[in-house]
Structure 1
Amino acid sequence: MLLAMALTLWSSIFLIIKVGYCYVNLSRKKGTVASQSSTHEGAFLASRSIDGNKGQTYRECSHTALGHSIAWFQVDLGGEYSLESVKIYYRNDANWCPYRFRQFYLDVSNGSAGSTTTLTSQRKRCYKDNTTALATPPSVIDISCKETARYVIVETTYNAQEAIYLNLSGPVLEICEIEVYGCSVGRYGESCSRCHGCSTCDIISGACPCSDTCVNSACNTSNEYCTEGCITGYWGKMCKSQCSQYCIGNTCEQGNGMCTTGCADFYYGYTCEHQCDPQYSPRSCDRVTGVCSGCNTGYYSQFCNRTCSPYCKSGTCDAHNGHCNGGCKTNWAGDLCENK
């Protein structure tokens, strides 16, 4: 009994260790670049935060300048990655607590923080600190951030002058080291090996996510194919395509999207993608060909898209061939009254 408990404990410890170290620190890979909104004294560069030194004293940290309305710091990974977590080491000298770190937020995005074309709405927020004076956030903070993005952005508008022990102007960031953990998009596991047949997968197990448009959210996790069919309104192997809005009952075949119960009034085609001509009378047509069941007065042809001659004596013509009913007006002749 004791042996079994011991084995279980060691298995749990092994799993924790394995999971804890299964991601790559993307901040330290070749091509990763750190930048910030401004640089204090022109010397406390953003690159200090990705040099591998986890020291938290003044001279070891990056530092934005005073006197601005916003301070931001970002890591550019050079491309999209599947992120897992972000760990931040903030300045924490013996007599200098992380006052300036209050109210910061962590966003990820595919647009740079410094780009005028990147909107806040295009970011995804992983964390927002709500610490108020006199309390301070932890100087080392590990944040879960399971997103896919290129840029990791730390930002603040908090004015540290609110702290009673400081007399400073404007928001400031002092980041000593930042570690961004994750894998390349489409990879997972201890060595970030490839997913099994899907574009994105669980970063630990490699399992493909099942779409919530699968019946009972059930799918083959190796390829994302729904195993119990699609919920109403969707079709395809992964149930990600929507049935035509003109399918009666919003239902269609899972394999090809063909409307299973016919088309709404005025529409035709296998997926009800075509609209019957407005001159059909009544406005209905063959489900497959679109051939009309009858034309409005003054129109003819199988699609009712031709007008009767204006020289038909009665103003009407045969719905199939356009021959004028009742002959032609004076001075006109021919089956379609086309000859003067």
Structure 2
Amino acid sequence: MATFLGIWNLLLLGVIHCYDNICERSSCKATLSSVSKNLSADKVIDGNTEQDYNSCSHTVVNGAPEAWVMVDLRKEYKLQNVVIYYRNERDYTWRPYRFRQYSLQVSSDTLSWNECYKDNTPDSRIPSSIQNITCARTARYIRIITNYDAPEDDQFSERGAVLEICEIQIFGCDSNHYGSDCSMECSVNCKRQTCDNAKGSCTYGCNSGFYSEKCEKRCSTCLSACNRQSGECEGPCPNGMYGNHCNITCSRNCENGCSKIDGLCNSGCIDGKFGIDCLQTCGGGCSSRCDQADGNCSCKTGWLGQNCNGKDKIVLGLNIDCLVENTIRSLC
């Protein structure tokens, strides 16, 4: 019966994953919170999946409130699943009761940990000694940690958290590859060229100048980054351009560019033009720039009107600077 269960577990694990066991092809390093006798952390990554006492790592039974085992993959990988083999004597004289209520966590720096799984097996039940846990995260460190004090240890006058991990298999891809066989490469436009296993979506966002889930679309003429989903520019537009994507040309009559939102010439018009878009022409008799709002200006000699677009007339043979309601204002 035990042989059948062992074969079934192997078949089941083979069906669930087809990723590489990372520690079989790289120099992983394992550490324990404490070591009992010679049952060191190296046993969790030695490739031996036997579950007897001598094949497993073991923390000290000393009343410690917490026990953990940590595997360092040496660099970040894109994880898919983690398989844990816990001590489970074949003659059932030792059951994995200390395996209750553990937590599987991952990290990229050991400063902050992200929980992939938390076991909630009650005291009345025994958890499975082989567990395959989906953990689709990008990480360098994997930690199994517990503060569970098993009531079965009371008969031995033992207290505290204990772990007896025999093997940890960590399956996934290099951080710059994805897919069920790790054959597809993440876009070079992904930050750190890292993407998720399922679709190749960039994990940390896009390099500057690109957008979309896989960062394969190029931002328009944005001065800075563009929105990851829409491609709209998140900062100002280059001088002379406007619009959400900064791809519309401002009126050439604007001075110092135009508003990113609506293209209006908020900084004024070039000499000789007026209006909100600077498309109207100032009067030919303006002695200086005309007002942007209404085109009013000061007139040169010989010109008249608020916009200085009319010339003086000869009345009674005399030159007149201007006429106001047919009344002579000045004579030359």
Instruction: Specify if TM > 0.5.
Output: yes
Post-superposition CA distance 1:4-63 (Å, at most 9, x none): xxxxxxxxxxxx99974531101222310111100012x100101111111001111000
CA distance in structure 2 between the aligned counterparts of 1:164 and 1:53, rounded to whole angstroms: 31
Instruction: Report the equivalent of 1:75.
Output: 71
Query: Unaligned stretches of 5+ in structure 1?
Result: 1-15, 113-117, 213-218, 246-250, 260-267, 273-284, 290-340
Instruction: Report the equivalent of 2:33.
Output: 37
Offset of residue 222 of structure 1: 6.0
Mapping of residues 156-195 of structure 1, within 5 Å: 156-161=146-151, 167-189=157-179, 191-195=181-185
CA distance in structure 2 between the aligned counterparts of 1:163 and 1:131, rounded to whole angstroms: 17
Instruction: Report the equivalent of 2:226.
Output: 235
Offset of residue 254 of structure 1: 2.7
Instruction: Report the equivalent of 1:66.
Output: 61
Post-superposition CA distance 1:256-301 (Å, at most 9, x none): 7999xxxxxxxx98769xxxxxxxxxxxx72899xxxxxxxxxxxx
Preserved contact between residue 25 and residue 180 of structure 1 (Cα < 8 Å): yes
CA distance in structure 1 between the aligned counterparts of 2:100 and 2:25, rounded to whole angstroms: 29
Cα distance change, pair 209–159 in 1 and its aligned pair in 2 (3 A): same
RMSD across aligned C-alpha pairs, in angstroms?
A: 4.2
CA distance in structure 2 between the aligned counterparts of 1:74 and 1:210, rounded to whole angstroms: 24
CA distance in structure 1 between the aligned counterparts of 2:20 and 2:70, rounded to whole angstroms: 18
Post-superposition CA distance 1:49-86 (Å, at most 9, x none): 11111100111100011121110101100011000000
2:114 maps to which of 99, 115, 124: 124
Count of residues paired in the alignment: 231
Q: Which amino acid aligns with 1:176?
A: C
Say if 2:245 is the partner of 1:254: yes
Say if 2:43 is the partner of 1:51: no
SS for the counterpart of 1:235 is coil
Offset of residue 186 of structure 1: 1.5
CA distance in structure 1 between the aligned counterparts of 2:249 and 2:23, rounded to whole angstroms: 49
CA distance in structure 1 between the aligned counterparts of 2:28 and 2:137, rounded to whole angstroms: 18
Offset of residue 90 of structure 1: 0.3
Cα distance change, pair 253–98 in 1 and its aligned pair in 2 (3 A): same
2:19 maps to which of 23, 28, 34: 23
Percent identity over the alignment?
Answer: 36
Cα distance change, pair 269–65 in 1 and its aligned pair in 2 (3 A): farther
SS for the counterpart of 1:176 is strand
Offset of residue 201 of structure 1: 3.6
Preserved contact between residue 213 and residue 228 of structure 2 (Cα < 8 Å): no
Q: Which amino acid aligns with 1:59?
A: N
Instruction: Report the equivalent of 1:139.
Output: 129
TM-score, normalised by the number of residues in structure 1: 0.57
Cα distance change, pair 271–160 in 1 and its aligned pair in 2 (3 A): farther
Offset of residue 110 of structure 1: 1.4
- Greater Rg, structure 1 or structure 2? 2
CA distance in structure 1 between the aligned counterparts of 2:114 and 2:103, rounded to whole angstroms: 11
Preserved contact between residue 258 and residue 271 of structure 1 (Cα < 8 Å): no
Cα distance change, pair 18–180 in 1 and its aligned pair in 2 (3 A): closer
SS for the counterpart of 1:95 is coil
Cα distance change, pair 235–163 in 1 and its aligned pair in 2 (3 A): same
- Larger strand fraction of residues: 2
Preserved contact between residue 257 and residue 271 of structure 1 (Cα < 8 Å): no
SS for the counterpart of 1:97 is coil
Say if 2:217 is the partner of 1:225: yes
SS for the counterpart of 2:85 is strand
Instruction: Report the equivalent of 2:86.
Output: 90
Q: Once structures 1 and 2 are overlaid, which stretch shifts more, 23-32 or 126-135?
A: 23-32
Post-superposition CA distance 1:150-183 (Å, at most 9, x none): 0000000011246666542110000001100001
Cα distance change, pair 210–137 in 1 and its aligned pair in 2 (3 A): closer
Cα distance change, pair 48–237 in 1 and its aligned pair in 2 (3 A): closer
Say if 2:267 is the partner of 1:286: yes
CA distance in structure 1 between the aligned counterparts of 2:212 and 2:160, rounded to whole angstroms: 53
Q: Which amino acid aligns with 1:73?
A: V
Preserved contact between residue 101 and residue 121 of structure 2 (Cα < 8 Å): yes
CA distance in structure 2 between the aligned counterparts of 1:133 and 1:163, rounded to whole angstroms: 12
Say if 2:198 is the partner of 1:200: no
Q: Which amino acid aligns with 2:106?
A: V
Post-superposition CA distance 1:230-264 (Å, at most 9, x none): xxxx935754787359xxxxx952357999xxxxx
TM-score, normalised by the number of residues in structure 2: 0.58
SS for the counterpart of 2:81 is strand
